[in-house]
Amino acid sequence: MIPTQNNFKRGLRHKSMRRRADNVIQPKKAPDIIPPLAPETIRIVPLGGVEEVGRNMTAIEYGNDIIVVDCGIQFTDAETPGVDFILPNTKYLEERVSKIRALVITHGHLDHIGGIPYLITRLGNPPIYTREFGSLMIKKRQEEFPHLAPLNFKIVATDDKAAVALTPDLKLRFFGLTHSIPDSTGIIIETPFGDIVNTGDVRVENENGVPAAKEVAQYSIFKNRNTLLLTMDSTGIEKPGFSPSEDHILKTIDRIVAEAPGRVIIATFASQVERIIEFFKTAKRYGKKVVIEGRSMKNNVDMIKLLNLTETDHVIPVDDIEKYPGNKILMIATGGQGEEFSALMRMSNKSHKFVKLMRTDTIILSSSIIPGNEKAIAKLKDNLFRHDSKIITYLDTDVHTSGHGKRGELEWIHKQIPHHFFMPVHGHHYMLKQHAELAYLLGDPRENVIVPDNGSIIEIRDKGQTLVRLPERAPSDDVVVEGFSVGDISEVLIRDRKMLADEGFVVVVAMVHNKTGRLKKSPDIISRGFVYLRESQELLSEVRHIIKNSIEGITVGMNPINFDYAKNAVNEDVARFLFQKTAKKPIIIPVILSV
């Protein structure tokens, strides 16, 4: 029997069988058959962002129309090696694509707009309703996908007197609120039975827990409206009280900048656009030049210039930095999360082309730690503290506040928007659950609150009287972006990658004389990630011996030779030997060729 070109397929089948014994893969259950939408019923389907922080997307369906709110990505971690982003699962929408009337964007952060290039075609290229800054962020990102059809933007403002009539039954309004990027908005979808209000991401500017006047004004519209369903950001629910105000943060940083003996380097998220605008003003106030470092920071500063959101004539290129005295320089950089090749990391490890850190430099880390980045930030801080520069973080000084309101802020918003039903969104399940508990405490009856999962189908029935969750669920398996591919996540692939990372692999290539069943020569062994081969010559020589015995023990005298038997024998014998010798379990792949 001559091994065929389908070798790899058999290998895969064999392997996955072996592994199934260790770690059972659940068979996928058949997709639910979702009942058609009844008349006078509003359906709400969160497709992402309610079992995680990221990939926000919610569908609102009524009659023959669907409005999609937000289209975000989620960043990945060590649990999904090799994956670039995770997207909401849009199968429910794809099956109803002719009903989609609009994609509505609350603000221009990637967890709200990042999925557009991958998904807009699947949504049938609907018009995108967004405020101006969001549209610029979307356009900028779209430049990386030149093959896509141009987007159809409908730019809206919060002060539009009339609502946008998306369909005869559904109207859209934007309302201003506070987050951390310009043109952050909440959305009101007017239905025949009342408003569906989505805050998007939200915080409340405040002075020691007293909301600012502009906040009170922003929410005053809800006094005279009929909010049928409120959905709200839950990211900050675990933290009690109110955040320090952005105003307080800016004053603190202003004072540091004013008193700094030399250069000031501020690292913050490029997404903190409103704060960055204030840094420009601070630099202007003290006669300092501004240097922008980091690609995403430069991109967002381009938007600031384009919209003329502040004076930017004091920006200088980084290679001019030596032309000015240190105390005339304010640098705004990315890299506060310890990103490997970011501007700040390069300064910290002395590989930045133009900036060498000095004793007189003041470095402000105007950001908190995003969960998962702790190790990278520890590395960054280690590097920074190897210099004699002054380093200021949010741990010792108020130089950062989150764009997501804490519990006290969320509570205040609840009270500003009287509502009939409530659905917490934007966060892990445990955050949503705690947000629901807050709603009960504030008086929402339990039957008027639903904590959704991705794919939950929630309906408001009886002309707005009852809130139900269907037993059926919209498809919600992770959809992943990996290189050019967008599709279902493969559990097999992810598990192989984790095994490869921990144990490595060993490929055994042996040529067997078809007639004698003997090896033509000593087998070849190819391995990566298992042990350091240069120091393991003896081990390899023993393995070759085992392979020879293992194969010939099966094949000599066998006619015709059953190569699958021989492969199984090699696999088992080599795995057992290597585990005895090393306590490791590399993926073993035997290739036996007949000659």
CA 221/CA 203 separation, integer angstroms: 18
Q: How far is the CB of 394 from its own copies (least distance, A)?
A: 11
Contact segment (CB under 8 A) with its own copies among 190-198, 315-323, 373-381, 558-566 equals 373-381
Q: How far is the CB of 477 from its own copies (least distance, A)?
A: 14
Contact segment (CB under 8 A) with its own copies among 41-49, 60-68, 232-240, 356-364 equals 232-240
When binding is defined by CB under 8 A, the residue of 320, 322, 374, 447 that contacts its own copies is 374
With CA atoms as reference, report the closest residue to 164 among 182, 187, 136, 193. 187
Q: How far is the CB of 199 from its own copies (least distance, A)?
A: 22
CA 97/CA 41 separation, integer angstroms: 19
Q: Where are the beta strands (DSSP E) in 343-426?
A: 362-365, 390-393, 419-425
SS (H, E, C) 151-176: CCEEECCCCCCCCEECCCCCEEEEEE
When binding is defined by CB under 8 A, the residue of 12, 148, 468, 575 that contacts its own copies is 12
Q: Of 330 and 392, which has the nearer Cβ to its own copies? A: 392
Alpha carbon 111 to chain centroid, angstroms: 6
Q: In the range 103-132, which residues lie near its own copies by CB under 8 A?
A: none
Kindly state the DSSP code that residue 97 receives in the 8-state scheme: G
Q: Of 223 and 446, which has the nearer Cβ to its own copies? A: 446
Residue 507: CB atoms within 10 Å: 16
Q: How far is the CB of 511 from its own copies (least distance, A)?
A: 6
Contact segment (CB under 8 A) with its own copies among 2-10, 120-128, 288-296, 466-474 equals 2-10
Q: Of 146 and 483, which has the nearer Cβ to its own copies? A: 483
Q: How far is the CB of 294 from its own copies (least distance, A)?
A: 21
User: What does DSSP say about strands 264-267 and 362-365: parallel, antiparallel, or unpaired?
Assistant: parallel
The residue assigned the tokens 């839950």 is 234
Q: How far is the CB of 189 from its own copies (least distance, A)?
A: 29
CB distance 574 to 547 below 8 Å: yes
**Interaction between residue 3 and its own copies (CB under 8 A):** yes
Name the amino acid, one letter, at 540: L
Q: Of 161 and 534, which has the nearer Cβ to its own copies? A: 534
Q: Of 265 and 587, which has the nearer Cβ to its own copies? A: 587
When binding is defined by CB under 8 A, the residue of 66, 123, 249, 384 that contacts its own copies is 384
Q: How far is the CB of 454 from its own copies (least distance, A)?
A: 12
* Region for residue 427 given its phi and psi (left: phi exceeds 0; alpha: psi -120 to 50; beta: otherwise): left
Q: Of 287 and 483, which has the nearer Cβ to its own copies? A: 483
Q: In the range 289-328, which residues lie near its own copies by CB under 8 A?
A: none
CA 32/CA 16 separation, integer angstroms: 27
Q: In the range 58-87, which residues lie near its own copies by CB under 8 A?
A: 77-79, 81-82
Residues 6 or more apart whose Cβ sits within 8 Å of residue 197: 186, 187, 188, 189, 222, 227, 229, 230, 231, 417, 419
Q: In the range 477-516, which residues lie near its own copies by CB under 8 A?
A: 482-485, 487, 490, 492-493, 496-498, 500-505, 507, 509, 511
Q: In the range 509-568, which residues lie near its own copies by CB under 8 A?
A: 509, 511, 521-535, 540, 544
Buried-exposed string 265-294: b where 16+ CB fall within 10 A, e elsewhere: bbbbbbbbbbbbbbbbebbbeeebbbbbbb
Kindly state the DSSP code that residue 315 receives in the 8-state scheme: B
Q: In the range 414-433, which residues lie near its own copies by CB under 8 A?
A: 428-430, 433
Contact segment (CB under 8 A) with its own copies among 3-11, 246-254, 308-316, 353-361 equals 3-11
Q: How far is the CB of 530 from its own copies (least distance, A)?
A: 8
Q: Of 122 and 289, which has the nearer Cβ to its own copies? A: 122
Q: Of 328 and 544, which has the nearer Cβ to its own copies? A: 544
User: What does DSSP say about strands 206-207 and 210-211: parallel, antiparallel, or unpaired?
Assistant: antiparallel
Q: Of 55 and 131, which has the nearer Cβ to its own copies? A: 55
Q: Of 277 and 500, which has the nearer Cβ to its own copies? A: 500
Q: In the range 394-413, which residues lie near its own copies by CB under 8 A?
A: 395-396
Q: Which helix (H) or strand (E) holds 546?
A: helix 537-555
> Would you give the binding string for its own copies spanning residues 428-457, x where CB under 8 A is met?
xxx--xx-----------------------
Number of residues that bind its own copies (CB under 8 A): 83
> Would you give the binding string for its own copies spanning residues 236-255, x where CB under 8 A is met?
--xxx---------------
With CA atoms as reference, report the closest residue to 241 among 374, 90, 402. 402
Q: How far is the CB of 9 from its own copies (least distance, A)?
A: 7
SS (H, E, C) 218-244: HHHHHHHCCEEEEEEECCCCCCCCCCC
**Interaction between residue 18 and its own copies (CB under 8 A):** no
CB distance 244 to 210 below 8 Å: no
Q: Of 207 and 382, which has the nearer Cβ to its own copies? A: 382
CB distance 344 to 265 below 8 Å: yes
CA 159/CA 512 separation, integer angstroms: 79
CB distance 145 to 117 below 8 Å: yes
**Interaction between residue 386 and its own copies (CB under 8 A):** yes
